[in-house]
Amino acid sequence: MTHFNLSATALPDEFVQYCHLHQYNLSVKKKHIIAHVLKLAQDADVDTLSRHIRFNGVKVSTSSIYLVLQWLIEHGFVVKTVNGRSEVYYRPVNQMVN
C-alpha cells in the first residue's frame, strides 16, 4: 500500500491547529504515526510503534518515526524515558486521541 492510498487519520482540532501555528506539515504518514503515539496506553519503544503502525497497513520508515517523535518531544506532547543503557521508551503526556 502506498501513502497515496491511505486515508487521512483524524487528529484533534487543537493539535492540528497547534501544528499549523508552528508550521509543522502534517502529511498522511505523519498523521498515522502521531495518532498511534498519542493513543499509547503504556510506554512503547520504537520497534513496538513501528510494528503497530505497519500492522495497520502503513509503510513508514523507522527514521520517520524517530523524526516525528523528536518533534512531539520538543513540543511537549511525548515524554522520552531511558531505562538502563539502551532501553528507550516513549509515552504521550496525556491521551489526546480516543
**pTM for the predicted model, two decimal places:** 0.83
Cα–Cα distance, 20 to 38 (Å, whole number): 18
Q: Bridge partners of 80? A: 90
Q: How far apart are the first and last CA of the chain?
A: 25
The per-residue pLDDT for 57 is: 82
Residue 34: which of 73, 83, 3 has the closest Cα? 73
Report the DSSP pairing between strands 87-92 and 78-83: antiparallel
Give the cell for residue 6. Answer: 491511505
Residue 74: which of 87, 89, 93 has the closest Cα? 93
Domains and CATH numbers, the chain: 12-92 (1.10.10.10)
Q: Tell me: the pLDDT tens digits for 47-67?
A: 999 998 888 888 899 999 999
DSSP secondary structure letter of residue 44? B
The per-residue pLDDT for 86 is: 81
